[in-house]
A and B are shown apart, each in its own frame.
Chain A
């Protein structure tokens, strides 16, 4: 599979363990972007001429593909955004700001990425909503039942990541969502699926979530493209945040009326070439098949957990077993700072992320300033883990651990 990714031909020695930050791109995605420019480039939804129609078809077909990708039948419920961050901001300021009131409670968790914390904090300032953070248990899993003290009728929104980008923990949405909907049938559920769509086949209709957000660049596609899914009735009431061309039906000197969904939320000229690449990424993932991806990744995760289990003086921040977990490993080597770990690993061409991973509240819960993080994806091999192990040994040697 590595052969499909040109970056590994450019750098044969590269051990890329930072896919939670962004994935590498297969040739098929690179070609789709390039081919868009060489044979389909025109502005969409505007031209009568063939080329514009071709670009429009590609864009709208990709919307249908994205809908199918997460089990949505009506593709008008798929809004193209710049990424999961923008999509979450749209839920916060386009929907929640309009609907939620002072004293309403939004439930988040301690394992959220800043993208699913900061917008809600800002909303708190303007609307007076309350935020509640679901705690973690000792196994780095979500203790989602710890909400006895919350008045259920006040809990209007649960906004939760499917998978922690730091711990690798997979939150059991098929249990969590019914748990909250039973307590308050009126609650809306927003799922940040940025870390899960690269690895799992999702079905929002089965999950019964109301909003779902993700980014193309973490699932082999180009950066600058993401998706907001929302139920149609929610999109109807939701306000657009960006105003301008293509999102209107009528404009007078005094006022304007909005186009139907999804156009209402897609003002200006969109990242059409990125959407072309995103479509190719969906095709590529389907072509490999999520069953195969999961089998491969599970084997890698088990192998990595064994490796970490053998290491003395290495602390793993995340579940120690492979069940309900993906190949994201945050770790610390004795008292060596994560930057120093990454520096030594980089000498062996091993790319890991260090720092707080855009999850500073989680770092505080873990009692650290930051961690080193190795995150795996479908192109990683056992050999990559062997190389990581050698790198960890090298760190220990350098720092006399």
Chain B
């Protein structure tokens, strides 16, 4: 089996979860990966300071797309307080693969997008 492009990664790349754009979103934010120019748009609807719905979109590599797919699945229902405590390693653990520094940036793009969105909200 490929050490990086494991089945779960390829599965989420080809069929990403939570892919799209929410209408009337409370958070609507775009963040770029300056290394490659890729951008993720993240839209979130909140309810009682919790993530009610979340969708992401954008062209990304397999790593960034799989990471966004897994991560958005993970944060559904989480409170904003919980979101603020998320660490980089939590995102990397979801992927469960060894990444070079350059590819780590791809994996963390979704987290940086979310953090930017939360910051703009406040």
Interface residues of A (CB under 8 A from B): 336-340, 343, 354-356, 360, 363, 369-370, 398-400
B35 lies within 8 A of chain A by Cβ: yes
Q: Are B59 and A337 in contact (CB under 8 A)?
A: yes
CB-based nearest A residue for B65: A337
CB neighbours of A369 from chain B (8 A): 36-39, 59
Q: How far is the CA of A369 from the CA of B63 in the complex (A)?
A: 16
B49 lies within 8 A of chain A by Cβ: no
With both chains docked as a complex, state the minimum distance between the C-beta of A336 and any C-beta of chain B, in angstroms: 8
Given contacts A339-B36, A340-B61, A343-B4, 13 further A-B contacts (CB under 8 A): A336-B62, A337-B60, A337-B62, A339-B61, A339-B103, A343-B103, A356-B36, A356-B37, A363-B37, A369-B36, A370-B38, A398-B2, A398-B5
A370-B2 in contact given A337-B59, A337-B62 (Cβ < 8 Å): no
With both chains docked as a complex, state the minimum distance between the C-beta of A178 and any C-beta of chain B, in angstroms: 37
* Per-position 1/0 for B35-78, Cβ under 8 A of A: 11111000000000000000000011111010000000000000
Q: Are A355 and B5 in contact (CB under 8 A)?
A: no
Contact count A vs B, C-beta below 8 Å: 42
CB neighbours of B39 from chain A (8 A): 369
B106 lies within 8 A of chain A by Cβ: yes
Interface residues of B (CB under 8 A from A): 2, 4-5, 10, 35-39, 59-63, 65, 103, 106
Q: Are A337 and B61 in contact (CB under 8 A)?
A: yes
Q: Are A355 and B35 in contact (CB under 8 A)?
A: yes
Q: How far is the CA of A170 from the CA of B50 in the complex (A)?
A: 56
Interface of B is mostly: loop
Q: Are B103 and A399 in contact (CB under 8 A)?
A: no
Q: How far is the CA of A363 from the CA of B60 in the complex (A)?
A: 15
With both chains docked as a complex, state the minimum distance between the C-beta of A225 and any C-beta of chain B, in angstroms: 27
Q: How far is the CA of A370 from the CA of B106 in the complex (A)?
A: 14
Name, among B5, B37, B59, the residue most crowded by chain A CB atoms within 10 Å (CB to CB).
B37
12 A-B interface contacts by CB (under 8 A): A337-B38, A337-B61, A339-B63, A340-B5, A340-B61, A343-B103, A355-B35, A355-B36, A356-B36, A360-B37, A398-B5, A399-B10
Q: Are B38 and A340 in contact (CB under 8 A)?
A: no
Q: Are A355 and B2 in contact (CB under 8 A)?
A: no
Q: Are B36 and A340 in contact (CB under 8 A)?
A: no
Q: How far is the CA of A355 from the CA of B106 in the complex (A)?
A: 13
Closest 7 CB pairs of A and B: A337-B61, A339-B61, A355-B36, A356-B37, A340-B62, A340-B61, A369-B59
With both chains docked as a complex, state the minimum distance between the C-beta of B33 and any C-beta of chain A, in angstroms: 9
CB neighbours of B5 from chain A (8 A): 340, 398-399
With both chains docked as a complex, state the minimum distance between the C-beta of B56 and any C-beta of chain A, in angstroms: 15
CB neighbours of B59 from chain A (8 A): 337, 369
Q: How far is the CA of A338 from the CA of B10 in the complex (A)?
A: 15
Q: How far is the CA of A363 from the CA of B36 in the complex (A)?
A: 12
Q: How far is the CA of A283 from the CA of B37 in the complex (A)?
A: 39
With both chains docked as a complex, state the minimum distance between the C-beta of A365 and any C-beta of chain B, in angstroms: 14
CB neighbours of A339 from chain B (8 A): 36, 61, 63, 103, 106
Q: How far is the CA of A356 from the CA of B59 in the complex (A)?
A: 13
Q: Are A338 and B103 in contact (CB under 8 A)?
A: no
CB neighbours of B37 from chain A (8 A): 355-356, 360, 363, 369-370
CB neighbours of B65 from chain A (8 A): 337
CB neighbours of B61 from chain A (8 A): 337-340
Q: How far is the CA of A355 from the CA of B61 in the complex (A)?
A: 11
With both chains docked as a complex, state the minimum distance between the C-beta of B86 and any C-beta of chain A, in angstroms: 24
CB-based nearest A residue for B38: A369
CB neighbours of A337 from chain B (8 A): 38, 59-62, 65
Q: How far is the CA of A370 from the CA of B32 in the complex (A)?
A: 13
CB neighbours of A370 from chain B (8 A): 36-38
Q: Are A354 and B2 in contact (CB under 8 A)?
A: no
CB neighbours of A360 from chain B (8 A): 37
CB-based nearest A residue for B106: A339
With both chains docked as a complex, state the minimum distance between the C-beta of B80 and any C-beta of chain A, in angstroms: 31
Q: How far is the CA of A400 from the CA of B10 in the complex (A)?
A: 9
Q: How far is the CA of A29 from the CA of B96 in the complex (A)?
A: 45
Q: How far is the CA of A360 from the CA of B60 in the complex (A)?
A: 16
Q: How far is the CA of A336 from the CA of B4 in the complex (A)?
A: 15
Q: How far is the CA of A399 from the CA of B65 in the complex (A)?
A: 14
Which one of A340, A354, A363, A398 lies within 8 Å of B63 (CB-CB)? Answer: A340
Q: How far is the CA of A341 from the CA of B73 in the complex (A)?
A: 26
Q: How far is the CA of A400 from the CA of B62 in the complex (A)?
A: 13
With both chains docked as a complex, state the minimum distance between the C-beta of A77 and any C-beta of chain B, in angstroms: 38
With both chains docked as a complex, state the minimum distance between the C-beta of A15 and any C-beta of chain B, in angstroms: 19
